[in-house]
Structure 1
């Protein structure tokens, strides 16, 4: 039998101190708009920056359970959840479970239901412990109640009714919406470049207005500025396969009006150029300007087939440089957006854990699991 969090606190085996502040804190996190602003403020000042991990003995337990699950079910790098009820005399493992996005069911929903049924079906000892593992940290925003909030309330219920303590471990910080977070989706290279050229937000806004760039708010400006301190990147890590050829599709566009035979020659040459240009994808980290210079040098030095006229060669050199510039700047902006999202998600999870830890430390521990190097290779 399940109960409301308030009823569990008032009528269970265990009682929670400062219940008003706890429910107030949980309600605040249920207000996504308010919580996002709160996280952004912390992100600006780089607060809540360190990973929060469970204590060593709990981390070791998760590693052991993970090894057993992996041996039985195989390694998995996509979102899934499993759980363990640790009794004095036996270990009950269940999962892994996977989300059903068509129905809106998350893997944590199944874990909660299964755990509830198992606890209800037996005479529970206060020595029992519940371990919940989820690849991504439980979400803090969805169309219905968020998984993280559901788990915290359930952990309170299981402690209040059964005296059971819960441990929640995850590998990656999902934040509110994970990779679907759209706070930074409109950040362009022009905005990033303008941030890089500006001393502070005030001068940035003035510069943005002159160039008709939609200015970023001060918090996002500060976050971008922080990322630009380590502005180099390895292009080879973010440009692969068909994505590479697609970056140079305009190179083929300059042959459209040519006669068929000449068009075929030019098309073959363009494909050869695109293939040869992969040498520009350095594995070492470089700045945008360094990549642009390499692209310019490649285009100017490339020896085209003598079958191509000088005019076509010149157009191909210019078009290649234009495509290369668009690709480098676009991928750099994409990298900045992804890094901002990653930092935001990490800050979100860490801040949430810190906010509720003072109320839940008796019955709940949440943290990022630190696997050994060998185990880390399995889950990547």
Structure 2
């Protein structure tokens, strides 16, 4: 048996083991998606685009291998870090559909079934499906996502100081305070710049629950001193923007939880439909395995293939 290598903990890849009838097996090394650079619409810098998923690359390699060796195959165990996609752009068939199609062809031609194991639920588009969901979208009790605010309130999160800087710059504190009435404008400018630097620094180091972030911001802002003519307005402006940043950043764990639940539900719905259509005779079976899959995978091969020789 050739040695196996584990896929990176975070980088999507796929690999497979083809078990042969003579007691041997063929290992297909991990493959990674193909990318190409493309011009971003909103930026001069290029971004990357996936042109071929790791699953479809591996499917092609396995299918080519089976053309000469299919009659010797007992079964196939296929692993992909993320569950095969269920949606593709540009009229490309999703990897899940391709796997069902190819597993059916392989079973019809060679008589074996295919097992697909994965660690993370990808659903329709992975972690980005709810990327544009905002707090205002879910803050109403009538929203289906409203309960997630309570569910995720004990999950700590980081602050994004860029969010704070952009809002402060866009709104400008000078549009809020009676700047022209201040006698020492240079001192006020320096005080405001110093306060903003301190708040950005605090945001970059702040990690915790929503309440903790709000309290830290309130404590820091109350420590500043501005010209008495603008102090109250300055505090109000800084507090409003700080609290808005905290609210926006609190969506990070909420979006992650919603996305995870949604992706799991989508994959299970697909499996339910697959079972209702093909029943127990389905040529493809899917299993979710833990992050430390590699060790368990080796144990599985040993138990099923070596010790008991039942494959």
Q: TM-score, normalised by structure 1?
A: 0.60
Q: How does 1:113-132 map to 2 (within 5 A)?
A: 113-122=60-69, 124-127=71-74, 129-132=75-78
Q: Which residue of 1 aligns with 2:80?
A: 134
Structure 2 Cα separation of the partners of residues 297 and 265 of structure 1: 17
Residue 172 (1) aligns with residue 120 (2) = yes
1:252 positional shift: 9.4
1:261 positional shift: 6.5
Q: How does 1:216-365 map to 2 (within 5 A)?
A: 221-222=143-144, 224-235=145-156, 237-240=157-160, 243=162, 246=165, 249-250=168-169, 253-254=172-173, 263-276=189-202, 281-283=206-208, 285-286=209-210, 291-292=213-214, 295-300=217-222, 302-304=223-225, 308-357=226-275, 359=278, 361-362=280-281, 363-365=283-285
1:250 positional shift: 4.1
Residues 79 and 371 (structure 1), Cα distance of their counterparts in 2 relative to 1, 3 Å cut: closer
Question: How many residue pairs end up in the alignment?
Answer: 271
Structure 1 Cα separation of the partners of residues 50 and 213 of structure 2: 45
What secondary structure does 1:354 align onto?
Answer: helix
Between stretches 244-253 and 129-138, larger displacement belongs to 244-253
Structure 1 Cα separation of the partners of residues 295 and 166 of structure 2: 37
Residue 82 (1) aligns with residue 15 (2) = yes
Q: Which residue of 2 aligns with 1:161?
A: 109
Between stretches 320-329 and 117-126, larger displacement belongs to 117-126
Residue 69 (1) aligns with residue 17 (2) = no
What secondary structure does 1:138 align onto?
Answer: coil
What secondary structure does 2:286 align onto?
Answer: strand
Residues 180 and 225 (structure 1), Cα distance of their counterparts in 2 relative to 1, 3 Å cut: closer
What secondary structure does 1:118 align onto?
Answer: helix
Q: Which has the higher contact order (CA 8 A, sep 6+)?
A: 1
Structure 2 Cα separation of the partners of residues 103 and 172 of structure 1: 18
Q: TM-score, normalised by structure 2?
A: 0.72
Q: Please, what is the CA RMSD of the aligned residues?
A: 3.5
Greater fraction helix: 1
Structure 1 Cα separation of the partners of residues 237 and 170 of structure 2: 6
Residues 371 and 78 (structure 1), Cα distance of their counterparts in 2 relative to 1, 3 Å cut: closer
| Deviations 1:199-218, CA, capped at 9 Å, x for gaps | xxxxx4xxxxxxxxxxxxxx
Q: Which residue of 2 aligns with 1:150?
A: 98
| Deviations 1:101-130, CA, capped at 9 Å, x for gaps | 647321111111111000002252252x21
**Aligned 8 A contact 2:139 2:146 in 1:** no
| Residue ranges of structure 1 left out of the alignment (5+ in a row) | 1-63, 196-203, 205-220
| Deviations 1:235-293, CA, capped at 9 Å, x for gaps | 5x3425x53663663499336978567534531343124324667x343x455xx6545
1:176 positional shift: 1.5
Structure 1 Cα separation of the partners of residues 60 and 76 of structure 2: 13
Structure 2 Cα separation of the partners of residues 126 and 251 of structure 1: 64
Q: How does 1:11-30 map to 2 (within 5 A)?
A: none
What secondary structure does 1:113 align onto?
Answer: helix
Residue 104 (1) aligns with residue 51 (2) = yes
